[in-house]
Amino acid sequence: MPRFYTMSAGIATKYYFADVDNSSMGEALADWSYRQLADFKGRALLRIEKGTTLGDFVDNGALLLVVHDRVLRILESNGIRAYATFDVVLLDRLGEELPGYRGLAILGRGGPNDPSLVEHYVTKRGTKSRRIFGLRPTEWDGSDLFLLDDMYRVALATERVKTLFAKEKVTNCLFEPAEGFKIPF
């Protein structure tokens, strides 16, 4: 099986971090998966809060994948099509719009996470919980960008995407090996 990576905006302090206006997203903010965001018809409003440099990915508190049009051109020109976009408005600290950004919805499918990587347990207070020690698709459709059914806000990418973004020097994008992913609670 190929190697997979989680893909997200980096958390480096030099790159801009934006706050999402919750009212602009409605129910899409909290409850929708990256796949469902393909159906979002509104415009997500984001305001830069900190950082000094604009990157190709914009980190934000809502875990939205906000990317510059350059990233979309790179994906398209390399035949990576397992995504859709939605409208975002990215404002700088003065309230001026920073053009050329879109929200990225991931359409590829990986099925549920491999059950051997999930430990279910009951806490001392009687609540059911789970620990996850890695991500591995069970029904991967072969897409270079995809989601697991039970991890709907964790974007996964193939080695191909990671290598392509490194070659094209895509900024503020973080790839972590999926086998190292942990939710230890």
The rounded percent of the chain whose pLDDT value lies above 90 is 74
pLDDT greater than 80 at residue 147? yes
Per-residue pLDDT at 15: 95
Cβ pair 160, 115 in contact under 8 A? no
End-to-end CA distance of the chain: 28
Read off the pLDDT band of 154 (50, 70, 90).
Answer: very high
Tokens matching residue 105:
């919805």
Read off the pLDDT band of 33 (50, 70, 90).
Answer: confident
Strand partners, 140: none
Cβ pair 16, 54 in contact under 8 A? yes
Per-residue pLDDT at 152: 83
CA–CA dist 162, 178 (Å, integer): 12
CA–CA dist 1, 112 (Å, integer): 16
For 103-115, the pLDDT digits (tens) are 999 999 999 999 8
Per-residue pLDDT at 30: 64
The whole model's pTM is what? Answer: 0.90
Give the range of the structural domain holding residue 79, as residue numbers without chain letter. Answer: 4-183
The kind and range of the H/E element at 60 are: strand 57-60
Domain count of the chain? 1
Per-residue pLDDT at 55: 96
Per-residue pLDDT at 38: 92
For 57-100, the pLDDT digits (tens) are 999 988 899 999 999 999 999 999 999 999 999 999 999 999 99
The mean of the pLDDT values for the chain is 91
Tokens matching residue 81:
């099509």
